[in-house]
Amino acid sequence: MGSGQLNGNVNGNGNGGGGGGGGDGVTTTSGSSSNSNSSCYNNSWLCKWRWPQQQQQHVAKNNNNSNNNNSLKGGGGAGFGGRRLVLSSSGYFFVVWCFVVYVFVGFLYGWLALKKPYTVAAGLSSFGCQEDSEGSWSIGVFFGNSPFSLKPIETANVWRDDSAAWPVANPIMTCASVSSAGFPSNFVADPFFYLQMSLLNQELVDSSEKVLGGCTHVVGCRQYFPSQWIELRLMFPAAILFDFSLMKMLLGLCKNSYLGPNKLWIVSLRTSKDWSQGNDLYLFYETKNSITMQGDIGVAKSVDKGATWQQLGIALDEDWHLSFPYVFDYHGQIYMMPESRAKGEVRLYRAVNFPLEWKLEKIIMKKPLVDPFMINHDGQYWLFGSDHSGFGTTQNGQLEIWYSSSPFGPWKPHKKNPIYNGDKSLGARNGGRPFVYDGNLYRVGQDCAESYGRRVRTFKVEILTKNEYKEVEVPFVFEASNKGRNAWNGARYHHLDAQQLSSGEWIAVMDGDRALSGDSVQRYILGCASVAAVGILVVLLGLLLGAVKCIIPLNWCAQYSGKRSDSLLTWERESMLCSKVRRFCSRLNRSASYLQGKIKPNTSIGRLVLAVIFVAGVALTCTGVKFIYGGNGADEAYMWKGHYSQFTMLTMTFDARLWNLKMYVKHYSRCSSVKEIVVVWNKGEPPKLSDLDSAVPVRIRVEKQNSLNNRFKLDPLIKTRGVLELDDDIMMTCDDIERGFQVWRQHPDRIAGFYPRLVNGSPLRYRGEKYARRHKGYNMILTGAAFVDSQIAFNRYWSEQAKAGREFVDKFFNCEDVLLNYLYANASASKTVEYVRPAWAIDTSKFSGVAISRNTQVHYHKRSECLRKFAEMYGSFAGRKWEFGGRKDGWDL
C-alpha cells in the first residue's frame, strides 16, 4: 500500500491517492488553520509511533473503511497486514532489535571487563562502603623529623606478623575497617589525634618547693597545643630539693599550660623507656553513616604508634551532620569542638567518660562556621573558621577570626574580617590542626581550586593581634604517591594533624581520596549521555535503512480534532515557543529524506557509514556501562586483619626484551601495593632508569652469570617479605595482582600464583593448565607469576640441600620454578600452593618474537625430565592434589 493511500484511509475522507509519499488525501478542517500547523495536525501515520496493538487496531479500522482491502501487501486480512505494517513502517521492531543487540553488547562488556571474579569479603557489613558523591576518603599515618618532612608509615618498616603486614602500609583506616567493626561507614575523613600519656605516678604540683628522689623524673607542662612539650629529665641518686628558680623558669615557659596558672606536673618513671614508649594515640574522625547518610564522630585507639587501630565506637552522634572533631585540653578537661554547620552553631562538648561519652558544655557562637579550630596564642584565645552563609561569600574561599579571653567566650570579631573572601586556591578554608614548630605558629588550609579538598597548604602566621593578621605560605612537602587513582590519596588530600611525640619524632595523620569531588555524579551523567547517544545512533540507523520514517513522531504534538475557534487561533499565534518547536520537529523529520538521498545503504560508502555508526554505538554502549557500573576505575588493595601492606616485584630479563620491560614497569608500578620493582638483568647492556616510566623505585640488579637461579637469589636490599615473581612478558590487571597478594598474606608459607599445574602419572609428565582443569585439581604453581616469602623461598632455594637441583637448572636452563615447588613440598606435608584465577592474562612475548620457550613440545619434554630428576632428589608430590573452588571467595574457580 502506498503511503498516500494509507493516509487517505486513516483520515476517512479520501481514497488515498497514489503511492507517493507524504500526505495526499488529507482532509482539512477550518480553512484558516491549514498550512501553518499541518505538520502537527497532519494525521499521516507514517510519522507516528504506536504500540503494535494500537497499530493493528488502527489498520483494521482503515481496512474496514477502505475500498481496497487488498492493498496491503501479502493479503491475509487486517491483522496480518497490520503486523507487517508495524515492521516495515513504524520502525518499532527495528528499534527493539537494536535495543536487544546493544543491551547484549553492554552485558557482555560488563561481564568480561567489569565483573569481579570473586565475592565480597566475608564479614564486611552490607551497608558499608557504598559509593558516595562526597568521595571515598581514607586515613593514613605519617612520620618525620619535622612536620615538613613527613613520610608514610610504610617507610618506617613497621611489621605485624599476625596480619602478614611486612610492612604495614597506608591507609590505616578506611570505611571497610570501620564497617567491619559494626559501624557502617561510607568514608572516614577529618582525622584529629589526641595524645594521652601512659605515665606512672603523675602528680600535679604548685609553684613551691618539691622534694624529688628515687629515679628518673620528668618535670614539665602540657601546652595548649598537645604536640608541644617542655620537659626536663633529671637523674637523682637520692632525695634532692627541686630548685624553685628552675620551677619558676618552667612556669614562665608554660604560661599556656592547660593545667592552669602556676601549675606543673611531675612524673616519676622506673626507666627512661617508660617515657618514650608511653604514648597512647586516640584518633577522632568523621565517619559518614551508611544508613542515616550523615556525619558522626568516630574514635579509635592505637598503642603502637599508629600501626594498629582498635575501633572504639561512635563518640558523638547528633541529629545533624558532624565533622572536623577538633579535640583539645583546657584546665585538666578534654573538650571537642566539632563542626555543627547544619545546626548553625559552634558547640563545645566536654568529655564525661573519655573517649565515648561527651556532654554539651556550651554553645559558644550562633554561627554556621565551617571547620573551626581554637588556639591559645600570646595569652589570648583565637577562633578560626569560615562562614559561608553571608551574602557575597565565596564558598571554600572565606576565612574569619574571633578572639576571647576564654574558650567559652564571649567572642569578638577580628578587625580585618573577613581575612579571605575570594580565590578558593588560597587555602582560606581550614585543613586541620595548627601546629608550632621552631617557635612559629602554622595554620593548615585547603586548596579548593580544582576540586573541594584538592590539597593541603601550610601558612606561617607572622602577625596575630586583635587588629592585624598576616600569614605567608610555606612549602608543604611530604612523600606522595604517583599511582593516580590506584593510590588511596592519589586524587586529593585535605586534612592534616601533625603533633610531636615525647621522643621528639613528629607523627601526622592525613586523609586522602582516589577521586575528585562529585566523581560518581559526573560518571553517572556521562554514562547516561552515552546511552542517550546510542539511542540517537539507533534512530539514525533506522532512518538510513528506511525502517524509521521520522525522527520526532508527529502524534507527540498536541492535537485538536474539533472545530477551531478564533480564541484557539489567537492562543496558537501567541504561543510562539510551541510554534517554533513544531516547526523544528517538522524540519528535523524532513532531514530523513535528505540523509537517505546523501547516504545510500546499498553502496559501498553507505555500508561503510552504517558500519561506522554501528561500531560507534557499540563503543558508546561500553562507555556508558563503564561509567554507570564500573566504579571509579581504581584497582584498590585488599585489607587483611586490619592492615594493608606492600610487596616487591621481581622480574628477570635481558637486553632483547627491553620493549617488554618498559611496558611491564609502566603498568605494574601503578598497582596499589607495589613498593619497588627489582629487575634481574642477566645479559647485555642494562637500560638507564630514566628510560623506564615508573611510579615506584626501580632497581636493576646486574648479574655476572646468565642463570635462571638468579631469580631466587638472596637480596638483602629487598625491604618486604612478600615478593611477586612475575615474568616480564605477562600482563594482567592490577586487581588480579592485588587479589594474589591478599591470598598470599592469608597463607604466607605457601606459593600463591596464577598458573596451576597437575603433576602425576608414571612416568611423571609435565602438562598444561587444561590437563589440571580436566582432572579438577592442581599440586604445583609456576613461579613465573607467583607470590613467595622472600625469607622462606630464597633461603630454601640457596640451601645446601638444593645445590644439586640448582646445578641441574643451569644445565637445562629451565625448571627453576619446578625446583622451588619441590623444595616447598619437601618441607611440609600440608598444602604448599594456592591458586588465584586471573580475569585475563596476555603473553606479550608472542608479539615481540623473543619468547624463551618457542618450541612448546621441546619445552614440555625438558620439564618432564626435570620432574623425574627432582622427584629422585627430593621425593615426589604426585600423590597430592587440591581441587579448584576450595576458597569461599571463589577466587580459585
- Report the C-alpha gap between 24 and 15 in whole angstroms: 9
- Report the C-alpha gap between 340 and 371 in whole angstroms: 9
Asked whether 370 and 393 are in contact (CB, 8 A), the reply is no
Query: Residue 494 carries which DSSP code?
Result: -
Report which residue type is found at 251: L
Q: Whole-angstrom distance between the N-terminal and C-terminal Cα of the chain?
A: 59
CA distances (Å), 855 to each of 306, 673, 759, 812, 858, in order? 53, 35, 21, 15, 6
- Report the C-alpha gap between 876 and 881 in whole angstroms: 12
Please provide the size of the chain in residues.
893
Which SS3 state, helix, strand or coil, does residue 326 take? strand
Asked whether 187 and 137 are in contact (CB, 8 A), the reply is yes
List the grid coordinates of 853: 620457550
- Report the C-alpha gap between 289 and 294 in whole angstroms: 6
- Report the C-alpha gap between 736 and 838 in whole angstroms: 5
C-alpha dihedral sign at 606, 611, 614, 615: negative
Asked whether 167 and 481 are in contact (CB, 8 A), the reply is no
- Report the C-alpha gap between 435 and 384 in whole angstroms: 14
Asked whether 504 and 230 are in contact (CB, 8 A), the reply is no
Task: Give the Cβ contact number of residue 381 at 10 Å.
Answer: 19
List the grid coordinates of 789: 616469602
CA distances (Å), 223 to each of 192, 227, 272, 502, 817, in order? 17, 8, 22, 13, 60
Residue 496 half-sphere exposure toward CB, CA atoms < 13 A? 32
Task: Give the Cβ contact number of residue 234 at 10 Å.
Answer: 13
Cβ-proximal residues to 193 (8 Å cutoff; 6+ apart), any chain: 226, 281, 282, 283, 433, 497, 499, 507, 509
CA distances (Å), 205 to each of 160, 213, 267, 630, in order? 41, 15, 10, 62
Task: Give the Cβ contact number of residue 671 at 10 Å.
Answer: 23
267: part of which helix (H) or strand (E)? strand 263-269
Which SS3 state, helix, strand or coil, does residue 131 take? coil
> What one-character-per-residue DSSP string does 757-819 give?
E--BTTTTB---HHHHHHTT-BSEE-TTEEEEEHHHHHHHHTSGGGHHHHHHHHHHT--HHHH
CA distances (Å), 414 to each of 411, 440, 467, in order? 9, 21, 6
Burial classification of residue 270, based on how many CB atoms lie within 10 Å of its CB (0-12 exposed, 13-18 middle, 19 or more buried)? exposed
Active centre residues (catalytic) = 817
Nearest-10 crossing angle of helices 790-797, 816-827? 100
Task: Please report where in the chains the cell 575523613 appears, as a residue.
Answer: 189
Nearest-10 crossing angle of helices 92-109, 519-545? 140
848-857: long-range contacts at Cβ-Cβ below 8 A with a sequence spacing of 24 or more?
Answer: 848/657, 848/659, 848/660, 848/729, 850/656, 850/657, 850/660, 851/729, 853/814
Distance of CA 30 to the CA centre of its chain: 65
List the grid coordinates of 698: 626501580
